[in-house]
Amino acid sequence: MAQFPSAKVTAICVGGGRTASSELVALGAERWLTMAHERSVALSARDLTKTYNTGATEVRALNHVDLDLYQGELVVLLGPSGSGKSTLLNILGGLDKPTAGEVLFRDHDLTKASDRELNLYRRDHVGFVFQFYNLIPSLTARENVALVTEIAPNPMSPSDALNLVGLHDRQNHFPAQLSGGEQQRVAIARAIAKRPDLLFCDEPTGALDSKTGILVLDAILRINREMGTTTALITHNAGIADVANRVIFFADGRIVNIKVNETQRSTSELAW
Protein backbone atom coordinates (compact mmCIF):
# COMPACT_ATOMS: atom_id res chain seq x y z
CA MET A 1 0.00 0.00 0.00
CA ALA A 2 3.04 2.24 -0.12
CA GLN A 3 1.87 3.77 -3.40
CA PHE A 4 -1.75 4.82 -3.29
CA PRO A 5 -3.53 5.18 -6.62
CA SER A 6 -4.82 8.61 -7.46
CA ALA A 7 -8.17 9.70 -6.05
CA LYS A 8 -11.33 8.83 -7.92
CA VAL A 9 -15.01 9.24 -7.37
CA THR A 10 -16.44 6.57 -5.09
CA ALA A 11 -19.82 6.26 -3.46
CA ILE A 12 -21.45 9.55 -2.58
CA CYS A 13 -23.03 9.43 0.81
CA VAL A 14 -23.65 12.56 2.83
CA GLY A 15 -22.90 11.86 6.43
CA GLY A 16 -22.56 8.14 5.84
CA GLY A 17 -25.10 5.36 5.76
CA ARG A 18 -26.22 5.60 9.34
CA THR A 19 -26.91 9.31 9.34
CA ALA A 20 -30.48 9.62 8.13
CA SER A 21 -30.99 12.32 5.53
CA SER A 22 -33.66 13.80 7.81
CA GLU A 23 -30.82 14.62 10.18
CA LEU A 24 -29.25 16.81 7.56
CA VAL A 25 -30.21 20.32 8.54
CA ALA A 26 -32.19 21.85 5.71
CA LEU A 27 -30.01 24.93 5.36
CA GLY A 28 -28.03 24.47 2.19
CA ALA A 29 -28.55 20.71 2.10
CA GLU A 30 -29.82 20.64 -1.45
CA ARG A 31 -26.92 22.69 -2.70
CA TRP A 32 -24.52 20.45 -0.82
CA LEU A 33 -25.99 17.31 -2.33
CA THR A 34 -25.41 18.78 -5.79
CA MET A 35 -21.85 19.70 -4.86
CA ALA A 36 -21.22 16.30 -3.29
CA HIS A 37 -22.16 14.56 -6.52
CA GLU A 38 -19.52 16.60 -8.32
CA ARG A 39 -16.78 15.91 -5.79
CA SER A 40 -14.55 12.94 -5.11
CA VAL A 41 -14.54 11.29 -1.74
CA ALA A 42 -11.17 11.81 -0.07
CA LEU A 43 -11.70 9.48 2.89
CA SER A 44 -14.54 7.27 4.10
CA ALA A 45 -15.24 5.89 7.55
CA ARG A 46 -17.68 3.01 7.73
CA ASP A 47 -19.37 1.72 10.86
CA LEU A 48 -16.49 2.72 13.12
CA THR A 49 -16.58 1.55 16.69
CA LYS A 50 -13.91 2.13 19.28
CA THR A 51 -14.13 0.68 22.77
CA TYR A 52 -11.68 1.04 25.62
CA ASN A 53 -11.61 -1.48 28.43
CA THR A 54 -10.20 0.01 31.57
CA GLY A 55 -10.68 -2.54 34.32
CA ALA A 56 -14.34 -3.14 35.09
CA THR A 57 -15.72 -0.41 32.82
CA GLU A 58 -15.97 -0.34 29.05
CA VAL A 59 -15.95 3.04 27.33
CA ARG A 60 -17.46 3.18 23.87
CA ALA A 61 -15.66 6.20 22.40
CA LEU A 62 -17.13 5.67 18.91
CA ASN A 63 -20.43 3.98 18.30
CA HIS A 64 -21.11 3.03 14.66
CA VAL A 65 -19.82 6.19 12.98
CA ASP A 66 -20.08 6.68 9.22
CA LEU A 67 -18.56 9.70 7.54
CA ASP A 68 -17.28 10.70 4.10
CA LEU A 69 -14.85 13.58 3.71
CA TYR A 70 -15.00 15.17 0.28
CA GLN A 71 -12.00 16.37 -1.68
CA GLY A 72 -11.15 19.93 -0.74
CA GLU A 73 -13.90 20.48 1.81
CA LEU A 74 -13.51 22.01 5.24
CA VAL A 75 -15.39 20.20 7.97
CA VAL A 76 -15.71 21.37 11.57
CA LEU A 77 -16.39 18.80 14.31
CA LEU A 78 -18.28 20.04 17.36
CA GLY A 79 -19.44 18.19 20.45
CA PRO A 80 -19.12 17.90 24.21
CA SER A 81 -15.93 16.78 25.89
CA GLY A 82 -15.58 13.00 25.71
CA SER A 83 -17.95 12.63 22.73
CA GLY A 84 -15.33 10.95 20.55
CA LYS A 85 -14.05 13.74 18.29
CA SER A 86 -10.32 13.16 18.87
CA THR A 87 -10.79 9.40 18.75
CA LEU A 88 -12.31 9.74 15.27
CA LEU A 89 -9.64 12.13 14.00
CA ASN A 90 -6.84 9.91 15.31
CA ILE A 91 -8.32 6.90 13.52
CA LEU A 92 -8.87 8.84 10.26
CA GLY A 93 -5.27 10.05 10.47
CA GLY A 94 -3.81 6.59 11.00
CA LEU A 95 -2.66 7.30 14.56
CA ASP A 96 -5.03 4.73 16.03
CA LYS A 97 -7.13 1.78 14.88
CA PRO A 98 -10.82 1.21 15.54
CA THR A 99 -12.21 -1.82 17.34
CA ALA A 100 -14.44 -2.46 14.31
CA GLY A 101 -15.27 -0.79 11.02
CA GLU A 102 -13.38 0.43 7.98
CA VAL A 103 -11.47 3.54 6.92
CA LEU A 104 -11.12 3.72 3.15
CA PHE A 105 -8.44 5.82 1.50
CA ARG A 106 -8.14 5.33 -2.25
CA ASP A 107 -9.57 1.82 -2.10
CA HIS A 108 -7.32 0.79 0.78
CA ASP A 109 -8.78 -0.14 4.14
CA LEU A 110 -6.49 1.50 6.68
CA THR A 111 -7.79 -0.73 9.44
CA LYS A 112 -6.13 -3.67 7.68
CA ALA A 113 -2.85 -1.83 7.03
CA SER A 114 0.41 -2.91 8.65
CA ASP A 115 2.27 -0.51 10.94
CA ARG A 116 4.65 0.28 8.09
CA GLU A 117 1.80 1.03 5.69
CA LEU A 118 0.12 3.27 8.25
CA ASN A 119 3.42 5.02 8.77
CA LEU A 120 3.64 5.73 5.03
CA TYR A 121 0.03 6.87 4.95
CA ARG A 122 0.74 9.39 7.72
CA ARG A 123 4.05 10.46 6.23
CA ASP A 124 2.87 11.00 2.66
CA HIS A 125 -0.80 11.92 2.93
CA VAL A 126 -1.70 13.34 6.34
CA GLY A 127 -0.89 16.54 8.21
CA PHE A 128 -1.79 16.88 11.89
CA VAL A 129 -2.08 20.02 14.00
CA PHE A 130 -2.72 19.71 17.74
CA GLN A 131 -3.66 22.18 20.46
CA PHE A 132 -0.10 22.20 21.78
CA TYR A 133 2.33 22.87 19.03
CA ASN A 134 4.94 20.15 19.71
CA LEU A 135 7.77 22.12 18.13
CA ILE A 136 11.35 21.15 18.89
CA PRO A 137 12.70 23.97 21.08
CA SER A 138 16.32 23.72 19.91
CA LEU A 139 15.39 24.12 16.22
CA THR A 140 14.37 27.31 14.40
CA ALA A 141 10.99 27.67 12.71
CA ARG A 142 12.55 26.74 9.36
CA GLU A 143 14.39 23.75 10.82
CA ASN A 144 11.22 22.50 12.50
CA VAL A 145 9.48 22.51 9.11
CA ALA A 146 12.55 21.02 7.36
CA LEU A 147 12.32 17.96 9.59
CA VAL A 148 9.23 17.00 7.61
CA THR A 149 10.23 18.25 4.16
CA GLU A 150 13.44 16.19 4.25
CA ILE A 151 11.49 12.92 4.31
CA ALA A 152 8.44 13.81 2.20
CA PRO A 153 8.30 12.75 -1.48
CA ASN A 154 7.00 16.03 -2.94
CA PRO A 155 7.40 18.79 -0.38
CA MET A 156 7.38 22.56 -0.79
CA SER A 157 10.36 24.39 0.65
CA PRO A 158 10.21 25.27 4.36
CA SER A 159 10.31 28.97 3.36
CA ASP A 160 7.30 28.59 1.07
CA ALA A 161 5.38 26.77 3.82
CA LEU A 162 6.22 29.50 6.33
CA ASN A 163 5.23 32.16 3.77
CA LEU A 164 1.82 30.52 3.42
CA VAL A 165 1.14 31.00 7.13
CA GLY A 166 2.49 34.57 7.11
CA LEU A 167 5.78 33.85 8.89
CA HIS A 168 8.36 34.68 6.19
CA ASP A 169 10.09 37.07 8.61
CA ARG A 170 10.26 34.57 11.50
CA GLN A 171 12.11 31.69 9.82
CA ASN A 172 15.21 31.87 12.00
CA HIS A 173 13.37 32.34 15.29
CA PHE A 174 13.37 29.59 17.88
CA PRO A 175 9.99 28.55 19.34
CA ALA A 176 10.72 30.43 22.59
CA GLN A 177 11.11 33.61 20.51
CA LEU A 178 7.64 33.21 18.97
CA SER A 179 4.16 33.96 20.33
CA GLY A 180 1.69 31.11 20.86
CA GLY A 181 -0.12 31.94 17.63
CA GLU A 182 3.15 32.11 15.69
CA GLN A 183 4.24 28.76 17.11
CA GLN A 184 0.93 27.26 16.04
CA ARG A 185 1.41 28.67 12.55
CA VAL A 186 4.85 27.03 12.41
CA ALA A 187 3.11 23.78 13.39
CA ILE A 188 0.64 24.33 10.53
CA ALA A 189 3.50 25.04 8.10
CA ARG A 190 5.15 21.82 9.26
CA ALA A 191 1.91 19.89 8.73
CA ILE A 192 1.25 21.18 5.20
CA ALA A 193 4.79 21.47 3.78
CA LYS A 194 4.56 17.89 2.55
CA ARG A 195 1.39 18.87 0.59
CA PRO A 196 -0.84 16.39 2.42
CA ASP A 197 -4.15 15.24 0.97
CA LEU A 198 -5.72 15.50 4.41
CA LEU A 199 -5.21 18.01 7.19
CA PHE A 200 -6.53 17.13 10.65
CA CYS A 201 -6.58 19.85 13.30
CA ASP A 202 -7.51 18.95 16.89
CA GLU A 203 -8.45 22.17 18.71
CA PRO A 204 -5.79 24.22 16.92
CA THR A 205 -6.99 27.47 18.49
CA GLY A 206 -7.80 25.98 21.89
CA ALA A 207 -4.85 27.59 23.65
CA LEU A 208 -5.10 30.96 21.91
CA ASP A 209 -6.94 34.24 22.48
CA SER A 210 -9.44 35.33 19.85
CA LYS A 211 -7.16 37.69 17.89
CA THR A 212 -4.38 35.11 17.66
CA GLY A 213 -6.87 32.31 17.05
CA ILE A 214 -8.20 34.15 14.01
CA LEU A 215 -4.70 34.41 12.51
CA VAL A 216 -4.28 30.66 12.96
CA LEU A 217 -7.70 29.95 11.50
CA ASP A 218 -6.91 32.24 8.55
CA ALA A 219 -3.78 30.18 7.87
CA ILE A 220 -5.80 26.94 7.86
CA LEU A 221 -8.48 28.46 5.61
CA ARG A 222 -5.89 29.74 3.17
CA ILE A 223 -4.32 26.29 2.86
CA ASN A 224 -7.72 24.68 2.41
CA ARG A 225 -8.60 27.20 -0.31
CA GLU A 226 -5.30 27.57 -2.15
CA MET A 227 -3.98 24.00 -1.90
CA GLY A 228 -7.37 22.27 -1.90
CA THR A 229 -6.39 20.29 1.17
CA THR A 230 -9.31 18.34 2.62
CA THR A 231 -9.50 19.63 6.18
CA ALA A 232 -11.23 18.43 9.36
CA LEU A 233 -11.02 20.70 12.38
CA ILE A 234 -12.16 19.98 15.94
CA THR A 235 -13.15 22.92 18.09
CA HIS A 236 -15.15 23.76 21.21
CA ASN A 237 -15.84 27.19 19.76
CA ALA A 238 -19.19 26.96 17.97
CA GLY A 239 -18.55 30.37 16.35
CA ILE A 240 -15.77 28.84 14.22
CA ALA A 241 -18.27 26.48 12.61
CA ASP A 242 -19.42 29.24 10.24
CA VAL A 243 -16.18 29.04 8.23
CA ALA A 244 -16.82 25.37 7.35
CA ASN A 245 -18.57 23.74 4.41
CA ARG A 246 -20.13 21.27 6.82
CA VAL A 247 -20.44 21.03 10.58
CA ILE A 248 -20.52 17.56 12.13
CA PHE A 249 -22.11 17.38 15.58
CA PHE A 250 -20.97 14.63 17.96
CA ALA A 251 -22.57 13.27 21.13
CA ASP A 252 -21.86 10.02 22.99
CA GLY A 253 -19.60 8.60 20.29
CA ARG A 254 -22.08 9.21 17.48
CA ILE A 255 -22.68 11.77 14.75
CA VAL A 256 -26.01 13.25 15.80
CA ASN A 257 -26.36 15.98 13.19
CA ILE A 258 -24.73 17.43 10.10
CA LYS A 259 -25.23 21.04 9.10
CA VAL A 260 -24.38 22.30 5.64
CA ASN A 261 -23.35 25.95 5.49
CA GLU A 262 -24.87 27.66 2.48
CA THR A 263 -21.98 30.11 2.50
CA GLN A 264 -18.67 30.01 4.32
CA ARG A 265 -18.12 33.07 6.48
CA SER A 266 -14.78 34.79 6.61
CA THR A 267 -12.99 35.01 9.94
CA SER A 268 -13.69 38.76 10.13
CA GLU A 269 -17.43 37.95 10.34
CA LEU A 270 -17.10 35.44 13.19
CA ALA A 271 -18.48 35.95 16.69
CA TRP A 272 -15.53 34.27 18.46
Ligand X SMILES: Nc1ncnc2c1ncn2[C@@H]1O[C@H](COP(=O)(O)OP(=O)(O)OP(=O)(O)O)[C@@H](O)[C@H]1O
Query: Any contact of residue 52 with ligand X (CB under 6 A)?
Result: yes
Cβ distance 45 to 238 under 8 Å? Answer: no
Pairing of strands 41-54, 57-70: antiparallel
> 3-state DSSP call for residue 212?
helix
Given the complex with ligand X, which of 152 and 251 has the nearer CB atom? 251
Query: Does residue 132 touch ligand X according to CB under 6 A?
Result: no
CB atoms within 10 A of CB 35: 15
Q: Does 61 engage in binding with ligand X (CB under 6 A)?
A: yes
Residue 266 CA to residue 230 CA, distance in Å, equals: 18
- 205 counts as binding ligand X under rule CB under 6 A: no
Q: Kindly list the residues in this chain that would bind Mg ion in the complex (CB under 5 A).
A: 86
Nearer to ligand X, 160 or 252 (CB): 252
140 sits near ligand X (criterion: CB under 6 A): no
Collapsed DSSP state (helix, strand, coil) of residue 238: helix
Pairing assessment for the beta strands 74-78 and 246-251 based on DSSP bridges:
parallel
Q: Which is nearer to ligand X, 162 or 248 (CB)?
A: 248
Residue 103: CB atoms within 10 Å: 24
Name the DSSP letter for residue 24: B
Site for ligand X in 73-92 (CB under 6 A): 79, 81-87
Q: Does 256 bind ligand X (CB under 6 A)?
A: no
DSSP H helices in 60-100: 85-92
Residue count at the site for ligand X (CB under 6 A)? 12
Please say which residue, 86 or 224, places its beta carbon nearer to ligand X.
86
**At closest approach, how far in Å is the CB of 85 from ligand X?**
4
Regarding 151 and contact with ligand X (CB under 6 A), the answer is no
Q: Which of 9, 11, 27, 59 binds ligand X (CB under 6 A)?
A: 59
